Structure 1
Amino acid sequence: MKTGIKFYPTDETFPPLEFARMTEDSGIESIWLPDHSHVPVVSRVPDELKVAYGGGDDARDQRFAGSPPGGFPREYYRNYDQLTTLAMMGAVTSTLLLGTGICLVVQRDPIWLAKEIATIDRLTGGRFLFGVGAGAEWNAAELENHGVNLKTRNGLMLERIEAMKQIWGHEEAEYHGKQVDFDPIFQWPKPIQQPHPPILMGGMGPTVVDRTLKHADAWMPGHNDDSFDGLGDRITELRERAAALGKPIEVTLNLGRLDFVDRYVDLGLDRVVYSHPASSSDSETRKFVSELGKIAQELDHGAPSMA
């Protein structure tokens, strides 16, 4: 089972490039960054679509407590740009895999996004992992500022993914969908990883298995509570359906916790991305990365951790 770490880089956290070098030196396979462009102060989303942010009260920034959809953790509105930071992390490392955990595809132009991802993949020697998502209803205010319709966002994400595949895979690329449409274009560079960097479909909704099988190479469910109800069954369903299609598939769990390592091994996960607490001090950060590195090394040698 491979081991990744999720890091929230901001102007207040442990220095991101030093964090990347430390992560690589520890033996951790991959680093994953979140994606939020901003935090709206006032929302224009209809009341029936407003869903409170699901984080605990201790994670909320109370300056935003009265703003729909509620107070956010500080790292949600202070985070560095995901792709720029990953590119710079790639420049100071040599083996660390670089993942989007996840990229809000619906907030980004697909033609530009295809070029940005291909550029990072080439300049880092094929180390990019593309975790994707369409955003949740609690995130409606951010999505709407990008012109995203909540009811059609999944379709928009899937069309943008398929459009990017066309760009990456063809010298002359075109795409004609309901929400994404362009005539033949030239675009280089092409990614080193062919036909494209691995696509990991984020989400826990009822149709995510269908989306994963049709549009992605892996499923990336988010899970950080004490209940594993149904997760094993969904993993089994995904793998059985993938086997019937003759399609290799992986499962990367996002938002992992160190106290559940043995449960993750039992589930047969291919990778777990453990969340580094954004509010950690420098010494706490170094300790967390060191502990996770030891777990990664144990798992690489086939011995489950007793964390």
Structure 2
Amino acid sequence: MTFGITTFVTDEGISGPALGAALEDRGFDSLFLAEHSHIPASRQSPYPRGGELPRMYYRVVDPFVTLAAVAAVTERLVLGTGVTLLIQRDVIHTAKEIATLDQISNGRFVFGVGAGWNREEMADHGTDPRTRGALLDEQIAALREIWTNDLAEYHGRFIDFDPMYSWPKPVRQPHPPIFIGGGKAAADRAVRHGVGWFPTAVTDPAEIPAQLAMLEGNDRPVMVGAVAPDPIMIEAYLEAGVRDICLSLPTVSESETLAILDDYTKIIDKYRSAGR
């Protein structure tokens, strides 16, 4: 059983290094950071959780640079993206960024990746929202090719490169763990690629069985993100067999964050003391 944090680090809240050090000091297992390159001023894509888009989406920092800084002040904390919007990125550059971060952190990186929801944002990167799923499939395959082969090549509909060299290679072999973030489509993609699934927590414990059933009996690792710091929700996910839980952390000042983490620590310590 592991307990981590999913959050948005911004230029207005606690810094990444301060947050990482605080989490490690309190016994948390992991930190997963969100990514958005920008927010288009004219946007019709609805916010998935309803209402206005929260301020943190506009102010979020780059997760890879931030996690590298966190790696420098921690020793055991697992560092992940929750999630990387790979469809808005160059796959060759991203392969090198991830391998470099895995080197810096001595194999502590976990790659959370998703197809995204903000169609205007992805369109600004030249990505067609209608084919982003197929693009993501090829990008994941290309990343694995680059990470695991000294001489790598890939030829697909969207990603196409001739034999090439790219170092460093990741510390973790054959490559950092991959978790696909999202709902049913993400669960299906995780099964196809033989990787983990990273769904966002539901808000009602009664919805958990139906959520986990999206894997349709396939035995893939499951890590649930943005879980409310509510013992009822935590208990429900544990009872359903989920052993990797990331609590949702709001984006607030350093002093407020540390107070919240102290409260979270009291919650998770009860499960650890019980040997759950």
| Aligned equivalents of 2:257, 2:10: Cα separation in 1 | 14
Q: CA deviation at 1:301?
A: 4.1
Question: Could you tell me how far apart the structure 2 residues matched to 1:56 and 1:227 are?
Answer: 20
1:118 maps to which residue?
Answer: 99
Structure 2 counterpart of 1:297, one-letter code: D
Q: How far did residue 223 of structure 1 move? A: 2.1
Q: 1:233–1:73: structure 2 CA closer, same or farther, 3 Å change rule? A: closer
Indicate conservation of the 8 Å contact 1:121/1:197, yes or no: yes
**Which string of whole-angstrom CA distances, capped at 9 and with x for unpartnered residues, describes residues 180-232 of structure 1?**
01000101100011111000011113x33321112142110112423642x42
- Structure 1 residue 237 displacement after superposition: 6.1
TM-score (norm 2): 0.93
Corresponding residue number in structure 2 for 1:68: none
Alignment of 1:177-256 (within 5 A): 177-205=156-184, 207-226=185-204, 228-229=206-207, 231-236=208-213, 238=215, 240-242=217-219, 249-256=220-227
Runs of 4+ in 1 over 6 A off after TM superposition: none
Length, aligned pairs only: 274
User: For 1:164-179, what aligned pairs fall within 5 Å after superposition?
Assistant: 164-179=143-158
CA–CA distance in structure 2, aligned partners of residues 218 and 288 of structure 1: 29
Out of 227, 240, 263, which is 1:267 matched to? 240
- In 1, Cα distance between equivalents of 2:264 and 2:216: 27
Listed as ranges, the gaps of 5+ residues in structure 2 are: none
Unaligned runs of 5+ in 1: 44-49, 61-71, 243-248
The offset of 1:122, in angstroms, is 1.1
- Residue identity matched to 1:212: A
> Identity of paired residues, percent?
39
Task: Decide which of 108, 113, 125 is 2:89's aligned counterpart.
Answer: 108
8 Å contact kept, 1:29–1:97: yes
Distance 1:237 1:14 in 2: 35
1:117 and 1:131 map into 2 onto residues whose CA distance is 11
Separation in structure 2 between the aligned mates of residue 241 and residue 55 of structure 1, nearest angstrom? 28
RMSD across aligned positions (CA): 1.8
What's 1:130 paired with?
A: 111
The residue matched to 2:82 in structure 1 has which SS?
A: strand
2:46 paired residue number: 52
Describe the SS at the equivalent of 2:267: helix
- 1:291 is displaced (CA, Å) by 2.4
